[in-house]
Each structure stands twice: as C-alpha cells, then as structure tokens.
Amino acid sequence: MSDSARFALHRPEFLGALVRGEAKIAALVKESSITVPARATLVEANTDHRFVYRLLKGWAGRTRLLRDGRNQFILIFLPGDLFAVKSMFITHQTDAVVAITDLITERIDYRKLHKAYVADSDIAMRCIWQVVEEERRLHSWVVGLGQGSAEERVALLLMDFRGRLILSKTIAPDSLTYNMPLTQVQLADHLGITGVHVSRVLKDFRDSGMVTVRDGRVTIANLDMLAQRASALLDAYERVTRAYVGEQEAASSAHD
C-alpha cells in the first residue's frame, strides 16, 4: 500500500505534507511509549485530558457507557491510528477510550503537540487528516447502524478491519486472515446488537462457508461473498480502496 492509497481522498497537493507530518509526529513522540493492560481506561470520560496518543500495538476503542449499563463502542482504533487528537482543542472528551487488548502506545502532552501544530503546517495537516478520517468512519458507521441489518453490519465491520490493517501494513494486501481481538460482546456493543445475536450471525457466516471468526482470528474463506454481503453499505471510496484490496486489485483497477 502506497502512501497515496493510505491518504487517498485528500487533496493531492497535501500528500507531501501528510507524509512529512507523519514522520515528524513519529519523531516527536519517540521514546514516549507506555504499555497499558487490556480493559484499562486510557482516557476517562468527562475529564480534562492531557495527552494525544499514537497506537503502536494492540487495539483500543472509544466507548460510551450509559447509566443503565448499555454500552456503545463508537470507534475502534488500530495500530498506526492517532487518537484523542481532539485533546488539543477541547477540555472534556465526552467518551472514554479503553484498551481492548494489552497495548503499546506512544503519547505526547497536548500542549507540546499543539506548539508543533502551530509551528509546522505538516504536523497540523497530519493531525487534521486524522480528525477528518475519523469523521469519515463515523459517517459510514452511522449509515451502517441506521440502515444495515445485523448481517450487513458484521460483514461491513470485518471488511473494514481488513482494509484498515492492509492500509497500515499490519497484514499483507492479499491476506485473507487477521487477528481480531474483540469478544463477541464487544463486537455487539459496537454493532448495536446483542452478544447472542452476534454469535448467531457468525455461526451463519461460518456455516455458509464465508468467513470464520474464532479465537481472536478472522479467516475469510470467500472474500467476494463477504464483500457482497457488505456491499450495500460500502461507500464508493471504501469499495475502491478497501473492499477488494488484494487479490481483486487487478480486476478492480481494470475497470477504472
């Protein structure tokens, strides 16, 4: 995956700034890494928070716990993601960020990053990119939750994870398997359905020879079929850059 694929959608005149910003931020946060155990809360809801993070290893999620016990994973963060960038601008994050697995993450005091953000437009651009990209994911997820059936949502999510892992070079572009550490209940809290129903949908997917999710690992037996199941919910961008990344690449770029 080239940088231009990773930063697709962005105005091409900013590509250089994005790539430089990425490197500069990496340099800024170097050696600041901390480890966090699974289940721990990285950013507490409704508190002033001082750090911006760059996830190196492990998965995390932005989550909102309602007073009656309902819980929603709003967004899932994968290695390479910058998160809590908004700490630079707002005092109170209304949602928590929790570690889904044990994780390693670098972090930086928001004031330090903000100083760099003001001084260096490459860094600013990379930060803004993250916010804009996060918003794009939220748009897609609103569409998924609002219009998708449980099966469509699950298929979309499995495709999305794969696409993002490929773009961040965590897995190979043609890989049909990846680690996915969410429990079924955590998946359910992201999908807006119950854990029991997640189990049923996954059984169905497994029995139909489409994809197997077991022991923290996703194994796609029929990528076309999975993409098909998700396709109604995929936006045009995702259809091109994500759905068929890998073995379908030749075919897909052939129609362009």
Site of interaction with DNA (CB under 7 A): 149-151, 183-185, 192-197, 199-200, 202-203, 214-215
CB of 200 to its own copies, least distance (A): 18
Q: How many CB atoms lie within 10 A of CB 174?
A: 12
Q: How far apart are CA 236 and CA 52, in angstroms?
A: 31
Q: Does 68 bind its own copies (CB under 8 A)?
A: yes
Q: How far apart are CA 92 and CA 104, in angstroms?
A: 24
CB of 70 to its own copies, least distance (A): 5
Check if the beta carbon of residue 49 is closer than 8 Å to that of residue 84. yes
Out of DNA, its own copies, none, which partner does residue 195 contact, by CB within 5 to 8 A per kind? DNA
Torsion over CA: 62, 42, 101, 24 (sign): positive
CB of 210 to DNA, least distance (A): 14
Check if the beta carbon of residue 71 is closer than 8 Å to that of residue 186. no
State which H helix or E strand residue 35 sits in: strand 34-36
Q: How far apart are CA 92 and CA 86, in angstroms?
A: 9
CB of 201 to DNA, least distance (A): 7
Q: Which CB sits closer to DNA, 29 or 202? A: 202
Q: Which residues are at the interface with its own copies (CB under 8 A)?
A: 9-12, 14, 45-46, 62, 64, 66-68, 70-72, 74-75, 86, 88-92, 94-95, 118, 121, 125, 128-129, 131-132, 134-136, 138-143, 145-147, 189-192, 232-233, 235-237
